[in-house]
């Protein structure tokens, strides 16, 4: 199953001042729009999202949870 990711891209293909990539309020400047779009792809490719129940998580990670939580 795929989900749409909302991204706003400017209409300008070229800008002498460059382009900003804004992620969570932080900005990084790129010389071209193609470089900014490539960076978005590089950031999204390694992301893995999984939805599971709390019960499944606790069963799989019982040892890790016991290490992190004080008794």
Residue pLDDT, tens place only, 21-64: 887 778 888 888 888 888 888 888 888 878 889 888 888 888 88
Would the pTM count as exceeding 0.75?
Answer: no
Nearest by Cα to 10 from 32, 41, 39, 42:
32
Greater confidence (7 vs 28) lies with 28
Does any domain span residue 5? no
Domain assignment of residue 34, given as a range: 19-68
Does any domain span residue 10? no
Does any domain span residue 33? yes
Does any domain span residue 53? yes
Considering 2-6, 10-14, 52-56, 65-69, the range whose residues carry the highest mean pLDDT is 52-56
Domain count, the chain: 1
pLDDT at position 11 over 80? no
Does any domain span residue 55? yes
Q: Are 30 and 21 in contact (CB under 8 A)?
A: yes
């Amino acid at each position: 199953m795929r989900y749409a990711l909302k991204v706003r891209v400017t209409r300008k293909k070229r800008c002498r001042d460059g382009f900003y990539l804004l992620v969570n309020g932080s900005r990084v400047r790129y010389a071209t729009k193609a470089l900014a779009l490539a960076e978005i792809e590089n950031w999204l490719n390694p992301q893995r999202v999984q939805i599971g129940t709390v019960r499944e998580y606790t069963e799989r990670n019982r040892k890790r949870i016991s290490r992190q939580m004080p008794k």
